[in-house]
Structure 1
Amino acid sequence: MRLRTPLTSMALAAALLGLSVSPSAAVAPSVKGPGTFVTNGDRVHISSTPPRTASAHAWWTHVAGPGTKARVTIWLQVKAAKKGSKWHSVAKNSKNLKSGNGGSARRVVARKKCANQSKRQWRTMIDVDLIGVADTPEKAYTKAVTVKCGA
């Protein structure tokens, strides 16, 4: 889960406009920060509908400030069984969404068909970009889980 604050948003907006950032720096009145919102997603799981796939969902929830729609992008990531392996993105999906609580109409899904039932570590990386509003580039990661799904 990720929270963006007005201070972080103002610093980003100032950087994008080439302004210096200091406690007394003024940001152009036309620049709007994202206010506060929460990035969220569920843990990777096996989809209840065939074929057997690793599946996860992402959404965002508005708390305060501007921004009514966002481009939500989710990457499904897997780690090979070998010790010291790195995370690899195996599926990606994006969708423009209104704020919501993760219900089927207000979330984006990423899926990857399982090649076998080998145990693998899975997680998602999620990015929320408010449409028409400057925001910061950080991404949220769901907790890694072991799922019987080899990619």
Structure 2
Amino acid sequence: MRTFLTSTALTAALLGGSVAPATAAPPAAKGPGVFVTNGDRVHISSTPPRTASAHAWWTHVSGPGTKAKVTIWLQMKSGKKWHSVARNAKNLKSGNGGSARRVVARKKCANRSTRQWRTKIDVDLIGVADSPEKVYTKPVTVKCGV
């Protein structure tokens, strides 16, 4: 196909005509720049009822994007697999994790069984293409079974 287009263009140029390209190259997409995905470790909430709790936020470093949808999944290990037991999402401006600029995930404890917990966090910049990567916090042992 490329040879045909090249031959057609060469023929048109030799005959004094002009040939427009079949498709224009797409403009270079702007990347998300640099941002940091943050989250604290799963812990027992200080406010009743007894719940496993964790927070997520993002910090802008450079590039476009002033707001992001931050999603956090609270995960508990059962056997050898991690299972999401709670999820929450919120549109947030960049911040340092203060209460106004973070999203929380909570799951009420059914008992005080010792379990492994972690969070999965996704930051999607609003109006800016970014990678599908997710961040996992370091697993911790918490006395909270569900």
Give, as a single letter, the amino acid of the residue that structure 2 aligns with 1:139: K
Give the number of aligned pairs: 122
Q: Secondary structure at the match of 2:100?
A: helix
Pairing 1:48–2:43 present: no
2:59 to 58, 61, 64: 61
1:78-117 alignment runs, 5 A limit:
78-80=76-78, 82=79, 85-117=80-112
1:128 corresponds in structure 2 to: 123
* 1:18-58 Cα shifts (integer Å, max 9, x gaps): xxxxxxxx8614x3211000000000000000000000000
1:23-42 alignment runs, 5 A limit:
28-29=27-28, 31-42=29-40
Q: Which runs of 5+ in 2 are unaligned?
A: 1-24
Runs of 4+ in 1 over 4 A off after TM superposition: none
Give, as a single letter, the amino acid of the residue that structure 2 aligns with 1:42: D
Task: Point out the structure with max Rg over C-alpha.
Answer: 2
Pairing 1:138–2:133 present: yes
State TM-score, norm by structure 1.
0.79
Q: Which runs of 5+ in 1 are unaligned?
A: 1-25
2:71 corresponds in structure 1 to: 73
Q: Secondary structure at the match of 2:41?
A: coil
Question: How many Å separate the matches in 2 of 1:124 and 1:47?
Answer: 15
Q: Secondary structure at the match of 2:32?
A: coil
Question: How many Å separate the matches in 2 of 1:32 and 1:90?
Answer: 36
Q: Aligned-residue CA RMSD in angstroms? A: 1.1
Question: How many Å separate the matches in 2 of 1:72 and 1:111?
Answer: 15
Q: Secondary structure at the match of 2:95?
A: coil
* 1:116-143 Cα shifts (integer Å, max 9, x gaps): 0000000000000000000000100000
Q: Secondary structure at the match of 1:134?
A: coil
Question: How many Å separate the matches in 2 of 1:89 and 1:78?
Answer: 7
State TM-score, norm by structure 2.
0.81
